[in-house]
Amino acid sequence: MEKRYLGNNKLEVSALGLGCMRMSFGDAPIGTREEMIQVIHDAVDRGVTFFDTAEVYGPYTNELLVGEALEPFKGKVEIATKFGFNLHEDGSPGWTGLNSRPERIRKVAEESLKRLRIDAIDLFYQHRVDPDVPIEDVAGTVKDLIQEGKVKNFGLSEASAETIRKAHAVQPVAAVQSEYSMWWRDPEEDILATCEELGIGFVPFSPLGKGFLTGKVDENTKFDASDIRSRIPRFQGEALKANLALVEHLKALAEQKGISPAQIALAWLLAQKPWIVPIPGSRKRSRLEENIAAADINLSSADMTDIEKILAKIDILGDRYPNDIKKMAKR
């Protein structure tokens, strides 16, 4: 697979990464631990070198899974993980609040290194911006960890342009991770321009709109209570029905090209900038192969113009998150 660089730090990764969260967290898991490890191995075999996890996914179970799966490929892959939450003392899912105090960042780093079975964290993101801790203190703490050899690169997730600039002035930011797809284009307002100006890579999560852009969701789709989509406004009722207009256009374009709607959506993201690296999540080998094949699809300028015309006609209805999560975005 083609390689891309994230940021001026020259963190080289595969053009598509693999988001591992839903292999053990987020809704009812599909498959056993052994099957998820095999999916990760299949990804490596097909050229994926960039894997995304976090301590809060579980908590801890996702890092443990990724660490076990990727131990045989030590030095050949890049692992991104995250800090930024207070977790329940009993290890139950969820969090009790944001926490990016320096002592908490250091604790997470030490424990993540052990779970991931690595000597240094390739990319250490602040998972969500903590309004109670100056971003300069956060960046300074990660800078110290980099100097100590425990972290290689610093990242931010769902941060505002102002926060990115403040952090970058203390410790160069290698990558910013935020939701970005055909049905959530908010990063185009100022985040992408800021990243380009400062030489920062951009990592879109949910590049397939939490499965919406695959064309597999329709107005009759029912989501399990454990699935966050059961609480997301744009997957509900009249909003979902209206939003399906985008998928119908994608399906028509994909049929013309002999590819899938998901591949169109991923190829569109890859065509935006050479320093954008989407991280679609996959728990099935067939989905993994479908997504990886998108890295070889080159959309022409005419294709991109046609897609832009389609997107301009459609107003996406509903928020992308329930209120309890929405309030933590872009600080």
Residue 308 one-letter amino acid: E
Reply yes or no on whether 57 is catalytic.
yes
* Catalytic position from the list 5, 57, 60, 321: 57
Q: DSSP for 77-100, please give it.
A: SEEEEEE-EEE-TT--SSEEEE--
Work out the burial of residue 228: count CB atoms within 10 Å of its CB; fewer than 13 is exposed, 13-18 middle, 19 or more buried: middle
Sheet holding 78-83, edge to edge: 18-19, 50-52, 78-83, 123-126, 154-157, 173-179, 201-205
Q: What residues pair up with 177 in beta bridges, in sequence order?
A: 157, 203
Report how far residue 55's alpha carbon sits from residue 50's, in angstroms, rounded to the nearest whole number: 17
Residues 161, 167, 169, 172, CA torsion sign:
negative
Residues designated catalytic: 57
